[in-house]
Structure 1
Amino acid sequence: MHLLLMMFVLTATASAELNCDPLTQYAKDGECCKMCPPGTSMSNIGSCQEPQCQECQENEYQDKYTSEPKCQRQEYCDKNRNFERPVHQSKKERTTCKCKKGFHCSSPSCIICVPHKTCKPGEGVHFKGNHTHDTVCQKCPDGMFSNSENSICQKLTECADGYTVKVKGTDTSDNVCEIPLRQHLVLIVVCVFISLTIIVGITVYLCKGDARRKGCVEACREDEQELPREANALMVTQEETEKELTIPEQPSTQEEGASRTPEENEDELSTELSAGVIITDNGNYVVQENGKADILSRQESQTQTYTD
């Protein structure tokens, strides 16, 4: 111990004599040597005035000039202790572990994070907690309320003109306002009166419209009734004129023969019957040809007889 103290005194004395910068230099062998800058460490290769510095590795840092051969390790933030995952943005600074949202450090050393306090209904959040301090709650004063957890105290609602307080508010609920019963009745009567007025107005308008339409229809019907009388008179006149001008024509001999109905030839029918024609119970003819049987009505059989 005494030896180390003596060496420190000698080094300080030598530095004082050499007038070395305590922040960027160190004394060695009676000479002021340069240190490596923050974010690096000094390697074994190099000279006093030209040291070889190497960058700190991942999860390491060096926040000042140094002659040490290694950088310092970043602090480990354990997520099982409710810390956020650290983001080491710089190798020149020490990363501080932060508690997750809704948690704060249990002590100044911040070994573990604990949940924030919950402000109950009837209490307001006076100070919102962060990663180092807990939430501070405060009871709502008179005339104010909070109806949910971790909310702020709000002023009780004042009922507007014409309304009364139905349920008085507390520190956990707001005032409930309502319209008095008499005003309810007046409002209902006014609404009913307005509705009836609108209905009556619409009905009168529609009735007037129907009356106008009925007048048009009756006028049209009168015109229609007059037109057939004139048309009938014209038709009677035309028929009389046609009768006077028409000359009766004598039917020709050919038309008389054509208009006569053909007579059945019993001889021809008997011949066809003998050629394989069978008469059914309904009076239809059945023609047999090459093993096929076709049923013919009497009219069809007669037609075939005449066409042949």
Structure 2
Amino acid sequence: MRTVFVIYLLVTLLQFVLCCEELTHYRKNDKCCKKCGPGKRMLLDDNCEDPRCQDCQIGEYQSGYTTNTKCERQPSCDPNLHLKPQEDKLIITKLNKCVCEDGYYCTQDDDCSTCVEHSVCKPGQRVAKKGSPDSDTVCEACKNGTFSTHDSADTCKEWTKCEPGYDESSPGSSTSDRSCIMGARGNSRVVIIGVLVAVLVLAVFLFLGVFFYKSKRNKGWEEFTQVKQDIACLNITPVHQEEADVERADRPLQQPEEDIDSSIPVSPTPSNMTENGNVVDQEHGKEHIISSTESNAYSYS
């Protein structure tokens, strides 16, 4: 009898568990009824197996299955307090917590209601750990032999090492670099290097000058030889040609002479007049003028 009772009790409990799962269902009047899912609220529970549910409005949320008729309110993140929602998109299925803006962090872990600005690492320090919305910035002093010159430096730089020939003029610190100045050995080295460079440059210029001089001289000799060969082929003596040109230049230009009539006008005389009383003209270039008498060839019948 006892064994039967135990078996009955186990079957009853198993049926109750299978029928009414606590996360998604609830018991009402010995019935296993459904709940509304995440992001929803229950309007009425008049239908146990298929209740009427409605989505949560903007600024509300419901993170799990529920029988409540109201959704939870999302927290208000005031930007004047450097607060902002953790996620920018609309969320109705879970709590959208407030977090601090960039450059600030929350002083409380659970409820972020106050934001504090991150610490600024000063010159001579470096950022050992960057700040987050939940924690402040951690600063660390620069080690010996290193320095930083601006705020919130990520790393500290090493001091400059003076090269051979240079001496330290001012030591380095956590906020400034070491400076170096040229020593006596460095000055002598610079002088030697300068002299060597000057000699090298002078040698290059001399080489180029000699090279161009020889090239120009060889080119001139070749041109002179070519001209001499051309003159020999034409069988022309340059000196005689020049003398002929000089004589031609010194010789005065001859103007064409006009014919001058040097004859003396002839006075009319009986010897140079015709029977009609006309003067006989003398032809130019003839020394003597022969006058001929005109005869009247009249026939009288």
- Distance verdict in 2 for CA 1:225–1:129, change over 3 Å: same
1:166 pairs with 2:143: no
Q: What's the TM-score once normalised by structure 2's chain length?
A: 0.63
- Separation (CA, whole Å) in 1 of partners of 2:206 and 2:84: 75
Alignment CA distance shift 1:67-1:54 (3 Å): same
Matches within 5 A, 1:1-308: 20-44=20-44, 46-84=46-84, 86-108=87-109, 109-154=111-156, 156-157=158-159, 159=161, 161-162=163-164, 163-218=166-221, 220-221=223-224, 224=227, 227=231, 230-232=235-237
Superposed CA offset, 1:18-73 (max 9, x none): 66433222232232221111121112265111112222222221111101122212
SS in 2 for 1:231: coil
Give ranges in structure 2 of 5+ residues lacking alignment.
1-12, 242-257, 260-301
Q: Which moved more, 1:88-97 or 1:212-221?
A: 212-221
Amino acid aligned to 2:214: A
SS in structure 1 at match of 2:22 = coil
Indicate how the Cα distance of structure 1 residues 97 and 80 shifts in structure 2: closer, same or farther if over 3 A, else same: same
RMSD: 3.5
3-state DSSP of counterpart to 2:26: strand
Q: Deviations over 1:264-288 (max 9, x none)?
A: xxxxxxxxxxxxxxxxxxxxxxxxx
Equivalent position amino acid for 1:70 in 2? K
Structure 1 unaligned segments of length 5 or more: list them: 1-14, 237-258, 261-308
For 1:48 and 1:68, locate their aligned partners in 2 and report how far apart those are by CA, in whole Å: 14
Query: Taking structure 1 as reference, are residues 190 and 39 closer, same or farther at Cα in structure 2, changes over 3 Å only?
Result: same
**1:76: Cα distance to partner?**
1.5
Distance 1:177 1:50 in 2: 86
- The structure with more helix, counted as a fraction of residues: 1
Give, in angstroms, the shift of residue 165 of structure 1.
Answer: 3.1
Q: Is the 8 A contact 2:125 2:156 kept in 1?
A: no
2:125–2:141: 8 Å Cα contact kept in structure 1? yes
Question: Which amino acid counterpart does residue 194 of structure 1 have in structure 2?
Answer: V
How far off is 1:225 after superposition? 6.4
Matched positions, count = 225
Q: Is the 8 Å Cα contact of residues 84 and 97 (structure 1) preserved in structure 2?
A: yes
Once the two structures are aligned, what percentage of the paired residues are identical? Answer: 28
Question: Cα deviations across residues 208-261 of structure 1 (Å, max 9, x unaligned)?
Answer: 32133124324534664682893259x99xxxxxxxxxxxxxxxxxxxxxx98x
Distance 1:107 1:150 in 2: 25
Task: Give the aligned partner of residue 267 of structure 1.
Answer: none
Give the counterpart letter for 2:100 in structure 1.
Answer: C
For residues 212 and 113 of structure 1, do their structure 2 counterparts lie closer, same or farther at Cα, with a shift above 3 Å needed?
A: same
Match of 2:273 in 1: none
3-state DSSP of counterpart to 2:202 = helix
**What CA distance in whole angstroms lies between the structure 1 residues aligned with 2:197 and 2:144?**
45
Segment of structure 1 superposing worse, 57-66 or 81-90: 81-90
Aligned partner of residue 76 in structure 1, secondary structure: coil
Which structure's CA Rg is the greater one?
2
Q: Can you list the C-alpha shifts for 1:128-166, whole angstroms capped at 9, x where unaligned?
A: 211111112233333332221111452533516514433
With structure 1 as the length reference, what TM-score do the two structures score? 0.62
Alignment partners' CA distance in 2, 1:155 and 1:220: 70
2:213 counterpart SS class: helix
